[in-house]
Amino acid sequence: MLKKKDIPLVLDALEEEYPEAECALDHMNIYQLIVAVVLSAQTTDASVNKVTPELFKAYPTPYELAGANQEDVEFILKRIGMYRTKAKNIINLAKLLCERYDGKVPGDYDSLVSLPGVGRKTANVVLSVGFGEQRIAVDTHVFRVANRIGLVEEKDVLSTELSLMKRIPEDRWSKTHHSLIFHGRQCCTARKPHCERCVIFGICEQRI
């Protein structure tokens, strides 16, 4: 595992390499953000961005989505994985937003994870991107890269998140989350990491 003194070097290098690193899901407000994050489960952000313009044109607020016919929503989402389950989830999510929160997305963790389709990762993304809180949301990229390069040594997503929170300064959580995602997509890929062009080669713990 990386020595504590090396962690800032890794974080600085990744932030310099990916200055544009931020949420890749297109959205105009927090309602659109939470729906897009729910839709992104086991699907690429690029795929979600292809269906959300039509979705949000048809259902611009939670009130329209809450009254939507599920088959109509499924038709819009059919190009992404698990579209039937996701259509059901976002309709029910919208209903609860209208019934419990006056059509607004709540800004606290417990309320967020009580919504259909919203788990720990989605809640953390919404709190980070939508409400400006420092959060580390662990998706497949963050889990793989953080453990591969030696930021942590954990076997599951939750342990990885908790360990990252201990090892990384809180004021860098959100930026680190996005930097790790970009690094996982562009360099430290799942099948084969491109160590020959990696900005942290020689520092990270990966061995080929």
Choose, from 3, 26, 108, 139, the residue flagged as catalytic. Answer: 139
Angle between helices 157-167 and 140-149 (to 10 degrees): 60
Residue in 121, 155, 166, 192 annotated catalytic: 121
Which residues are bridge partners to 193 per DSSP? Answer: 188
139 is catalytic: yes
- The whole-angstrom separation of Cα 126 and Cα 73 is 22
Contact call for residues 51 and 208 (beta carbons, < 8 A): no
CA 115 to chain centre: 16
Q: Give the SS3 label for residue 188.
A: strand
Q: What is the CA radius of gyration of the chain?
A: 18
State the helix-helix crossing angle for 173-186 and 140-149, rounded to 10 degrees.
90
Please give the helix or strand (H or E) that residue 144 lies within, else none.
Answer: helix 140-149
Alpha-carbon gap, residue 46 to 178, rounded angstroms: 16
Residue spans of alpha helices (H) in 24-108? 30-39, 45-58, 62-66, 70-77, 83-101
* Residues forming the active site: 121, 139
